[in-house]
Structure 1
Amino acid sequence: MSNPLKLSLVNPQKFPFFYGYIVLLIGSIGILASIPGQTIGVSVFTDPVKDALGLTRNQFSNAYMIGTLLSSALVARAGIWFDAYGARYVAFFATLLLGASLLVFSVSVEISGAIKALFNFDSWFIPFLLITFLFFLIRFSGQGVLTMASRNMIMMWFKKNRGKINSISSITVSLGFSSAPILLNSLIDEHGWASSWQIMALSLFIFCLCILLLYRNRPEDFDLLPDGHDKKEVDQEAEEIETDFTLKEAKKTRAFWMFGLVLAFNSFYVTGFTFHIVSIFGSQDYTKAEAIAIFLPMSIIAIFVSTTCNILSDYIQHKIYLFIMLASGVVASLGLLFLAYPIGVYLLVGGLGTMGGLFAVINAVTWPSFFGRRYLGSISGKVMSFLVIGSAIAPSLFSYCFTGLGSYRYMGYVTLVFLLFLIIGSLKVKNPQ
C-alpha cells in the first residue's frame, strides 16, 4: 500500500493515546455523513421532490428502485477497492461523489426543464431518468461505500474489544439516524428542499478534508496492533489464531447466507416502511407529525439493544442474535398487519427498534468475528450488495401494494413468508471459525 501518511500531518504511532479511539470517533461521524444517501435521509424529501418534478408516487419509487439496484452492482466492487486501497481513499472519493450528487439533485427541476426545452419534449420520462441516475449516485456513494468503509475501518482497529467499541459507535449512529428525519424536516421547512441539499453538500465537502486528515486503514500500517498493543510488546505466539476467509470461501458457509439475508430483510423492511412512512400512517388517519414521532421510541429501543448486545457479543454466540432478529422481524410484520389498532404501533416500534439495534451489531461485529479481517472489504461489500438490493425493491413493492391492493398491510404477509424461510434455514448455522 502507498504511504499511509500522505496528505496528512497526523501519525497514529506518535499519538499520545491509542489512535483507534480517534478512528472510532471519525468513523462514526462518517457513517452519519452517509445519511443523505440513506433511505431515512431521502424519505423526508420524497413528497416535495416528486411534486416539484411532476412525478407520481409509483414513478418516484421506481426511480429509487432502479437507481439503487444499479448501485448494488458496484457496491461489491467497492469492497474489493477497500481491501486494495483502504478506508481513507475509498471514503474520501465516496464523500466527494455524494456531495456533488446532492448539488446536482438540488437543481434537478431546472435541469429537467432545460432538457425538456432543448428537445421540445415535455414528458415525465425526463425527470424520471434524471433522478434515477442521481439516486444511483447517492445510494452507491452514501448508503453503500461511505457506510461500508467507515464501519469496516473501526472494526479493523479493534479485535478483543470489538463488541464494546461497536456499542459506542452504535449509540452515536442510532441517535443521529433517529433524529435525522426531524432535523431534515425542519431544515426543509426553513430553507426548502433544494437549499437543504446544498447545505448538506457543503458539509460533506468539509468532511472530505477530515477524512484525509484522520481516516487510517489498519493499525498494522503503523506498527501497531488492534486494541492498542504495540507489536514490540506483544508475544505474537500468544495471539489467538484467526482464520481469514476469502469471499469465495465465505460464500460456501451457511452462516454467510443466513446472516446476510436477515440483514437484507432488515434493509428491505426498514427502507419500504421509512420511504412511505407518512403515507402508511396517513392511510390509518395518523398525521405526519405522529408518523415521524415513532422514530424516537424506536431509537431508544435500538440503542438499548445495540449497546447490550454489542457488549455481550464478545462473550456469546452470534447465532442467538440471528434468531432474536428473526423474531423481531415477525413482530414488526404483525405490526403492519394490525396498524389500524393501537397495538400495531407498539409492535412496529418494538420490532423495528430491536431489529435496528441488532443490525448494528451483526453488520459490524459478526463479519470480522466469523471470517477474519484480511478480506473484510470484499466480504462486507458483497453483503452490502444484498442490503442495497433489498432497499432498492422495497419502496416500489410497498407503493404497488398500496396503489394496487389499497393497503400496505398486505406487505406483512409477504415478509412473514420470507421470515419463515430464514428461520428454517438458520437452524443449522455455525460459526465458521
Structure 2
Amino acid sequence: MSKISKFHLIDPAKSPIFYGYIILIIGTIGIYCSIPGQTIGVSVFTDPVKDALGLSRNQFSNAYMIGTIISSLVIGKAGIWFDKYGARYVAFFAALGLGFTLFLCSWSAKMSDFIKEVLSMDTWMIPFLLMTVLFFMLRFAGQGVLTMASRNVIMIWFDKNRGKVNSVSSVALSFGFSSSPLWINALIEDYGWAHSWQILGYGLLVFSFFVFFLYKISPESHGLLPDGAKSISSTEETKKVMPKQFTLTEAKETRAFWMYGLTLAFNSFFITGLTFHVVSIFANEGFSKEVAISIFLPGSVVAVTVSTIFNFLSDYLSLKLYLYLMLFGGFLASLGFLFLSTSAGVPMLVAGFGILGGFFAVLNAVAWPRFFGRKHLGSITGKIMSFLILASALAPSIFSLCLSTFGSYRLVGYLGLGFLLFLTIAATKANNPQ
C-alpha cells in the first residue's frame, strides 16, 4: 500500500480537502447502491415477480436461499481480488455486474417463457433454476462484493478517526436502508417491476463510472497519510508500533477472528429470520400484522443511537467491551422472542435487536482493520462476509422448519440462547491479536 500510484485521472494529493472525506461520501453511496442486491431491496419484488414467473412463495424463497448460499461459498474470492487489484477495480466491476444483473432480472419472465418454448417443457423448474442463478448474481455483486469493497475503502483511508467516520456512514445508511422499501415500492407501482429493475440497473451503470474515477485504494498509494495527517513527528514515530499485517490464514488462527465473526453471523441469522417471518411470528403469539411491523421503527432508532454513540467512542475503547454488549443484545432479543406474549416480550425484543444491529454496524467495520491490519483486509473481510451471507441464507428456512415441525418458533429462541452462551464463554480469551 505504500507504493505511490503514478496512474490516476484525479489526484488525491491535490485535493483541497483530505481525500478520505470524498472516499467517505462515495463509499457510503456505494454501500447504499448495493440495496438492489440486499434482502431489503429484493423482498419488495417478491410478490409481483413470483406471480409473473408462476412460482409459489416457497419455490421463490428456496431459489433465493440457494443462490445466496452459493454466493457465500465464493465471496471469499472477491476479498482476494480486493487485496490484489484494489477497491477501484473490484467495486467498478461489482457495480457493472449488479447493473447488468438487474437488467437480466427484468427480462426473467420473458427468458423463462423462451426457454420453455425452446425445450418444449412447461415446468416450474425452469423459472426456479433461472431465478436461482439470478439471485446468486444479485447477492454476489450487491450484498457481497460492492458492499465489502465500499466499506473497506472507507476504513483504509482512516486510522485514529475510523470510528468517527464510520459513525457518519452508519447513520446515513441506517436511514437510507430503512426508507428504501418505500421508494422501491412506489417505483414498482408507477412503472411495474420489470421497468423498476431496469431503472435501478441504469443507476448502477452510471454510478460505476463514479467508482472508477473516485475510488482510491489507500492514502499511502498517493503519498498521503491516514486521517489527513501532514506528517508523523519524530516523537510519534518513536512511539509508533507498526501493527502486524495478518494474512487470512494467520487471522483464522486467532480466537478473535472466530468469536467476532460468529457473533456478527448470529446477528445476520436472527435479524434476517425475524424480518422474513415477522408477521407469522407475531400472529403465532396472538398479535396483529400492524403490531408486528411496528417494531422496526423503534428498533431502528435504538440501532442508530447505539451505532452513533459507540462508533464515536470506538476510537478510545476496547472492542471486547463492544463484543459483550452485542452478546447482551442477543440474549435480550432471544428472551424477548421466547416471551413475546408477555408484557415485557416486545420491548425486550425491540431493544435486543436494536442493540444487535447497532453494534453490528460498529464491529463489522472497525474490528478487522484494528485487529489484523489493512494489507490483507479484503481477504479477511471476504471470509467474514461469507459467514454473514450463509447465516442470512439459512435463517428463513430454519425459522420456517421450526414452525412446521414443532408448531412454534420458540425453538429458535432456545437455540439462540445456547449459541450465545457458548460465545460468551469462548470469547473471554478473544483479545485483540495486536
Shift in Å, 1:421: 1.8
Shift in CA distance, 41/227, structure 1 to aligned 2, threshold 3 Å: same
Shift in Å, 1:178: 1.5
Can you list the C-alpha shifts for 1:111-145, whole angstroms capped at 9, x where unaligned?
Answer: 21221222122222111111111111111111111
Shift in CA distance, 182/292, structure 1 to aligned 2, threshold 3 Å: farther
Pair 1:366 & 2:367 matched: yes
Can you list the C-alpha shifts for 1:273-328, whole angstroms capped at 9, x where unaligned?
Answer: 22333444455566656544433222211111011111111111111111111111
| Matched ranges for 1:319-398 at <5 A | 319-341=320-342, 343-398=344-399
Amino acid at match of 2:167: S
Shift in CA distance, 151/55, structure 1 to aligned 2, threshold 3 Å: same
Q: Which residue of 2 aligns with 1:260?
A: 261
Q: Contact 2:35–2:177 at 8 Å: present in 1 too? A: yes
Shift in Å, 1:49: 2.5
Q: Contact 2:28–2:169 at 8 Å: present in 1 too? A: yes
Shift in Å, 1:4: 5.1
Shift in CA distance, 335/53, structure 1 to aligned 2, threshold 3 Å: farther
Shift in Å, 1:43: 2.2
| Matched ranges for 1:108-127 at <5 A | 108-127=108-127
Q: Which residue of 2 aligns with 1:275?
A: 276
Q: Which residue of 2 aligns with 1:308?
A: 309
Pair 1:162 & 2:162 matched: yes
**The residue matched to 2:384 in structure 1 has which SS?**
helix
Shift in CA distance, 290/51, structure 1 to aligned 2, threshold 3 Å: farther
Q: Which residue of 2 aligns with 1:38?
A: 38
Q: Contact 1:281–1:291 at 8 Å: present in 2 too? A: yes
**The residue matched to 2:335 in structure 1 has which SS?**
helix
Is there any run of 5+ residues in structure 2 with no aligned partner, and where?
A: none
Shift in CA distance, 110/285, structure 1 to aligned 2, threshold 3 Å: farther
Can you list the C-alpha shifts for 1:60-83, whole angstroms capped at 9, x where unaligned?
Answer: 222122111111122111111111
| TM-score normalized with structure 2 length | 0.93
In 1, distance between residues paired with 2:221 and 2:231? 11
The percent of aligned pairs where both chains have the same amino acid is 59
Can you list the C-alpha shifts for 1:19-60, whole angstroms capped at 9, x where unaligned?
Answer: 000001111111111111111222222333333323233322
Q: Which residue of 2 aligns with 1:229?
A: 229
Q: Contact 2:53–2:127 at 8 Å: present in 1 too? A: yes
Shift in Å, 1:176: 1.1
Pair 1:81 & 2:73 matched: no
Shift in Å, 1:158: 0.5
Shift in CA distance, 386/214, structure 1 to aligned 2, threshold 3 Å: same
Provide the aligned length of Structure 1 versus Structure 2. Answer: 432
In 1, distance between residues paired with 2:190 and 2:338? 36
Shift in Å, 1:236: 4.3
Q: Which residue of 2 aligns with 1:212?
A: 212
Shift in Å, 1:171: 0.7
Pair 1:141 & 2:141 matched: yes
Shift in CA distance, 114/46, structure 1 to aligned 2, threshold 3 Å: same
In 1, distance between residues paired with 2:401 and 2:318? 39
Shift in CA distance, 125/5, structure 1 to aligned 2, threshold 3 Å: farther
Shift in CA distance, 17/48, structure 1 to aligned 2, threshold 3 Å: same
Q: Contact 1:244–1:374 at 8 Å: present in 2 too? A: yes
Over the aligned positions, Cα root-mean-square deviation in angstroms equals: 2.2
Shift in CA distance, 413/232, structure 1 to aligned 2, threshold 3 Å: closer
Q: Which residue of 1 aligns with 2:319?
A: 318
In 1, distance between residues paired with 2:283 and 2:198? 29
Shift in Å, 1:109: 1.8
In 2, distance between residues paired with 1:365 and 1:227? 15
Q: Contact 1:58–1:396 at 8 Å: present in 2 too? A: no
| TM-score normalized with structure 1 length | 0.93
In 2, distance between residues paired with 1:90 and 1:334? 41
Amino acid at match of 2:126: I
Q: Contact 1:326–1:423 at 8 Å: present in 2 too? A: yes
Q: Contact 1:179–1:295 at 8 Å: present in 2 too? A: no
Amino acid at match of 2:209: L
In 2, distance between residues paired with 1:44 and 1:193? 9
Shift in CA distance, 5/131, structure 1 to aligned 2, threshold 3 Å: farther
Q: Which residue of 2 aligns with 1:247?
A: 248
Q: Contact 1:39–1:275 at 8 Å: present in 2 too? A: no
Shift in Å, 1:93: 0.6
Q: Contact 2:80–2:378 at 8 Å: present in 1 too? A: yes
Shift in Å, 1:186: 2.9
In 1, distance between residues paired with 2:196 and 2:287? 26
